[in-house]
Amino acid sequence: MMQLSPDEPAQSHTGQDVGTPTCEDGQAPPFRPLGILTTTPPTRVRRGNGGLRQQALTDKDRRERSQKREIILFAASQQSPERLLVAVAGRPGIAVRLMIDAAGPNKYLISDHGGLAIFTIAIPQGCKELEVMVQASDEPDFGADIRGFDKPFRVVVGDDGTLEAGSETYLTSSGAGSVTIVGGRPLMEPKQDPVTHPDRRNEYESSSRFPDGQKSISADRQKRPAEGTADITLINLALLYVVVNGTIDQETHVPLGPLYLTSSLEQAGFTVDFVDHQVLPRLHPSCDPFDIATTVCFLGELAPVIGISCMANLLPFSVLLAKELKRLFPEKTIVLGGVGPFAVEAQLLAAFPWFDVIVRGEAEHTIVELLRALRSGAELAAVPGIFFRAENGNICQSCERERIRKMETIPLPAYSHIDPALYDAFNVITSRGCPYRCSFCSVAPVWRHRATQRSHSAIIDEIRFLHEQLGVKQVLFQDEFFYGGEAKMIDFLQALSASGLPVAWKCFGRVNLATEGAMARMADAGCTQIRFGIESGSDRVLGRIVKGFDVANAADTVTRAARIFPSVETFFIWGFPFESSDDFLRSVMLMLRFRHIGVNVLTNVLSFLPQTELYRHYQNGGYAGKLQFRQDSAPSVVATGHEVMGGNQTVPPRYQHLYDLVADHPEIFPGFSVYDHDGSAAWKRNVMRKLNFT
């Protein structure tokens, strides 16, 4: 008797009706469709050289299909010789019963929100054939209205370990390729563009639907290696995507960190499969980049090692994505890195066993040594800069990795892995790290408060490459310590001007270092925007957070900059534990002053990220108040991008599981909590909203 694997609960992964996705004409679906339970006449299907093709619907077909809908889609694929993946997609409220060999025990899926679920079936050794029966009902207990196929599906295990599921008799669905599936591998056909996916827009768009016939979900413009040849799939999870007043605001920036890792790995002889998650909505605007099933479909074929690089805001999403990847591919090694897991590596490994290794800090050397150790079976403890789970289950940390002293020793980012047309901004770094010790900062601790510099010639060579090879006309110097002093800045400006490169640029500066003379020369050399971190309009607060300047210094430098540059941006933080009402109102007055002279003011409530000095002080009992997690007023360091800003922040119900994850692990995700919300933060937030600063 075949049984469903007891450790694989069936769950629905999506939050809206599946609808009717379609394959592009001429493409065979990457997973063999077993059938469709429907109340509508099926679309006629014929076979062609490219696989299954849909014939055009008649007007009568369209009228009937507009009045009725599919009940369930069903597909299967072999994950390994011992495991069979079965995917089920259904409309909201449907209950699905999957029976193996026509008899007990049954496994139930209650598809509360509709969408996709995946069962895993264990195949006993030597098994050559099994039968699968699928039934559906509107009642969870299957008390009445049971619908099902009149015959079970026959799944045959071939001599070569492949599966052949169903028969042509059952390939009479409304488009034989209309199967929503994640994970697994093709059964018989060669790999095609990853599968189609239903439209999963946010609830704020529920009043209007996008047209049918969206393109297949794929990373086809990311120049990936041939299937089965990569040593590691490196995934960038850093997405600037947020909903403000009903409008999606998204920017795509070239992911320098993962591209630096890619180039270092390739220099060491490894083949890298790089996937940038942030371009998913650019390639497929009607798809939801924060849906797990959609993302797994987008990733497609994965290498034996899966590396995920994330920022703090997408750490919860990364956790759940990694969980699904490990469930689908338990044999693969999952590595987490980036600034997102910094300072909570051990807690992440203890709480979420699907992570195998977490890399801390600068990783160009670490990732190379890690892959060599995984390939050879060497002890992971010999690889500096990682946290890992030992064979006995203990959480271990290797010794610290030394900082890279000369940045010229690492190759340039692997720009060959991206399509430049998909990005809004190209970033360049001139240094790593910052020597200042601002107590709220989450970036400087990653670099241990030490700055390493690139040579001017190396920086200009990279800009020349971007301009001449990729057509880039503007770059952003994104490092915090770009303006390290007037003499250093003038030397760089002279070298940049001598290069003759017609490239505009933006940068960050510090108000205590930027002089009027240097800023004027920056503008002459092509600088179109400078950004300053002001944080507060109170000298008392500035002193407590160790900013290194006072309000008068900030006001004077910003005012001078506004006369020089076409654009000036300032950043403020409110909600400090020691920020009084007077301190807060002083900040508001300085914000209004800057806005009056044309300076763009960007604000955010304080985020207590675990590597910051403020959070350590809080943990040690240094503040009387408490961090409170309130999903209706969490910092704009958001978990999904679908938090609807403007007015009261709301979260669509289908993303509630992300916030439940945060609430269940406050020690891992403190950055989503607000200090003393009820006593202080709530009224301050209202003031900021009334003044249109959030």
The amino acid sitting at 672 is F
Amino acid in the structure at residue 81: P
Query: Of 623, 648, 666, which one is at a domain's C-terminal end?
Result: 623
Q: What is the pLDDT of residue 17?
A: 26
* Residue 31's pLDDT band (cuts 50, 70, 90): very low
Q: Is residue 160 predicted with pLDDT exceeding 90?
A: no
For residues 287 and 217, the answer to whether their CB atoms sit within 8 Å is yes
What pLDDT does 655 receive?
81
The rounded distance, in Å, linking the Cα atoms of 71 and 149 is 12
Could you tell me if 237 and 385 lie in one domain?
yes
Kindly give the pairing relationship between strand 240-244 and strand 163-165.
unpaired
Number of domains in the chain: 3
pLDDT at 657: 86
Over 90: is that where the pLDDT of 324 sits? Answer: yes
Contacting residues for 6 by C-beta, under 8 A, at least 6 apart = none
Give residue 643's pLDDT band: very low, low, confident or very high (50, 70, 90).
very low
Q: Are residues 62 and 179 in the same domain?
A: yes
User: Does residue 440 form part of some domain?
Assistant: no
Whether 260 and 140 map to the same domain: the answer is no
Q: Assign 14 a pLDDT band (cuts: 50, 70, 90).
A: very low
Domain annotation covers residue 71: yes
Is 416 a residue whose pLDDT tops 60? yes
- With contact defined as beta carbons under 8 Å apart, do 158 and 187 qualify? no
Least confident piece of the model among 239-248, 393-402, 431-440, 529-538: 239-248
Of 26-35, 183-192, 349-358, 561-570, least confident by mean pLDDT is 183-192
Asked whether residue 405 falls in the same domain as residue 474, the answer is no
Residue 68 pLDDT more than 50? no
Strand partners for 272: 232
With CA atoms as reference, report the closest residue to 171 among 40, 86, 24, 73. 73
Rounded mean pLDDT, 608-632: 90
Q: What is the pLDDT of residues 499-542, one digit of tens each?
A: 999 999 999 999 999 999 999 999 999 999 999 999 999 999 99
> pLDDT confidence of 224, banded at 50, 70, 90?
confident
Q: Is 155 in contact with 130 (CB distance < 8 Å)?
A: yes
Which range among 30-34, 99-103, 227-231 has the greatest average pLDDT? Answer: 227-231
73 backbone dihedrals φ, ψ, rounded to 5°: -105, 150
pLDDT of residue 157: 58
Looking at residue 15, its pLDDT comes to: 25
Domain co-membership, 17 together with 135 = yes
Token pair 């063999």 is found at 32
Looking at residues 189-203, what average pLDDT do you find?
A: 31
Same domain flag for 261 and 315: yes
Q: How far is it, in rounded angstroms, from Cα 63 to Cα 514?
A: 68
In terms of Cβ atoms closer than 10 Å to its own Cβ (0-12, 13-18, 19+), residue 159 is exposed
Judge whether 637 lies within some domain: no
Buried b (16+ CB within 10 A) or exposed e, 204-213: eeeeeeeeee
Residue 645 reports pLDDT greater than 70: no
CATH number of the domain residue 276 falls in: 3.40.50.2300
- What mean pLDDT do residues 434-458 have? 90
Going by pLDDT thresholds of 50, 70 and 90, the confidence category of residue 98 is low
| Region 342-356 average pLDDT | 96
Task: Assign 142 a pLDDT band (cuts: 50, 70, 90).
Answer: low
Domain C-terminal end among 164, 198, 232: 198
Residue 26: pLDDT over 60? no
Neighbours of 590 (CB within 10 A): 21
- Confidence (pLDDT) at 10: 31
Do 606 and 675 form a contact (C-beta atoms < 8 A)?
Answer: yes
- Looking at the domain assignment, is residue 28 inside a domain? yes
> Any idea what the CATH number is for the domain that residue 569 is in?
3.20.20.70
Q: What percent of the chain has pLDDT over 70?
A: 64
The amino acid at residue 328 is L
The reported pLDDT for the residue numbered 404 is 93
Residues 399, 488 within the same domain: no
Query: Which domain does 508 fall in, by range?
Result: 460-623
Residues of the chain with pLDDT > 90, as a percent, come to: 49
The pLDDT confidence band at residue 192, using thresholds 50, 70 and 90, is very low
Q: Assess if residue 660 is contained within a domain.
A: no
Per-chain mean pLDDT for the chain: 75
Angle (CA) 193 213 64, round 5° = 130
Q: Which of 142-156, 388-402, 537-551 has the lowest mean pLDDT?
A: 142-156
- Which of 198, 232, 262 finishes a domain? 198
Q: Longest Cα pair distance anywhere in the chain, in angstroms? A: 83
Q: Identify whether residues 155 and 240 lie together within a single domain.
A: no
Task: Return the higher-pLDDT residue of 87 and 69.
Answer: 87
Q: In whole angstroms, what separates CA 464 from the centre of its chain?
A: 30
Instruction: Decide if 243 contacts 202 (C-beta within 8 A).
Output: yes
pLDDT at 94: 58
CATH of the domain at 168: 2.20.130.20
The answer for residues whose C-beta is within 8 angstroms of residue 643's C-beta and 6 or more apart is 242, 243, 634, 636, 649, 650, 651
Q: Which pLDDT does position 86 carry in this prediction?
A: 58
554 has pLDDT over 90: yes
Residues 260 and 335 in one domain: yes
Looking at the structure, do residues 298 and 344 belong to the same domain, yes or no? yes
Question: Mean pLDDT throughout 386-411?
Answer: 93
pLDDT of 409 strictly over 80 = yes
Task: Give the C-alpha separation, 25 to 348, whole Å.
Answer: 44
Cα 524 to Cα 85: distance, rounded to the nearest angstrom: 61
- Do residues 395 and 508 share a domain? no
Task: Read off the pLDDT of each residue in 132-139 and give the average, rounded to a whole number.
Answer: 65
Q: Residue 528's pLDDT is what?
A: 97
Q: How many CA atoms lie within 13 A of 681 on its CB side?
A: 25
Report whether pLDDT(591) > 50.
yes
- Quick check: is 135 in a domain? yes
172 with 260, same domain: the answer is no
**pLDDT grade for 199, boundaries at 50, 70 and 90:** very low
Q: Which of the 8 DSSP states describes residue 526?
A: T
Q: What is the mean pLDDT of residues 545-566?
A: 97
Angle at 10 between CA 6 and CA 14, to 5 degrees: 160
Residue 147: the pLDDT is 58
Evaluate whether residue 265 is within a structural domain.
yes
**597 in a domain, yes or no?**
yes
**185 pLDDT tier (thresholds 50, 70, 90):** very low
Kindly report which listed range (234-238, 325-329, 482-486, 632-636) carries the lowest average pLDDT score: 632-636
| Whether the predicted pLDDT of 644 surpasses 60 | no
Taking residues 114-134, what's their average pLDDT?
59
Q: How far apart are CA 67 and CA 45, in angstroms?
A: 21
